């Protein structure tokens, strides 16, 4: 087996940052703590069964708390929810920061003004370097605001969706 080439972390981040992503807040309730974290490493995995993934840094409190729950929600943010994203991206987030929400059927918090949400049961946890990949089996889903423009992240900055390409 050949050794993996040394990859400059900054060049990797610059390159992977050219992949535009949506911005979400992943939320959960441990029974004693209701909380969320901003995540853009979210992707669809499968339609049958319906699975998605979320990558979570193993060095934060969010990782520790997510390791104790069986359900979570992924809330897709609208462009006017930049402050929500920034708030949940801060280290040491405690609680739901006053963001309006309600419990979903699973108990995971659903953000009231999110574009869409997906409630998930933890299907699998996979160690992936300095992150854990949480595979969620989707239990419920809704598009609350189909007219809302999504909040995007590209090249290290928040962005807006532009006009369609013809």
Q: What single DSSP character describes residue 65?
A: H
Place 1 in a pLDDT band, splitting at 50, 70 and 90.
low
Per residue in 6-45, pLDDT tens?
899 999 999 999 999 999 999 999 999 999 999 999 999 9
How far is 155 from 124, CA to CA, in rounded Å?
Answer: 30
Q: Which CATH architecture has domain 21-153?
A: Roll (2.30)
Question: Please, which residues have CB within 8 angstroms of residue 115's CB and are 6 or more apart in sequence?
Answer: 76, 77, 78, 143, 144, 145, 146, 148, 150
Q: What is the pTM of this model?
A: 0.94
- Residue spans of the domains in the chain: they are 21-153
Question: Please, which residues have CB within 8 angstroms of residue 100's CB and are 6 or more apart in sequence?
Answer: 111, 112, 113
């Amino acid at each position: 087996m050949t050794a993996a080439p040394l990859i400059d972390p900054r060049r990797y981040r610059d390159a992977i940052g050219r992949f535009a992503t949506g911005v979400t807040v992943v939320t959960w309730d441990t029974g004693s703590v209701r909380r969320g974290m901003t995540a853009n490493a979210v992707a669809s995995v499968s339609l049958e069964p319906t699975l998605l993934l979320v990558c979570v840094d193993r060095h934060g409190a969010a990782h520790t708390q997510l390791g104790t729950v069986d359900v979570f929600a992924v809330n897709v943010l609208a462009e006017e929810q930049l402050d929500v994203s920034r708030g949940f991206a801060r280290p040491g987030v405690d609680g739901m920061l006053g963001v309006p929400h309600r419990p979903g059927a699973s108990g995971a918090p659903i953000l009231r003004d999110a574009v869409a949400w997906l409630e998930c049961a933890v299907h699998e946890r996979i160690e992936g370097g300095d992150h854990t990949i949480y595979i969620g089996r989707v239990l419920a889903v809704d598009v609350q605001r189909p007219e809302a423009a999504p909040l995007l992240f590209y090249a290290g900055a928040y962005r807006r969706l532009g006009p369609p390409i013809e």
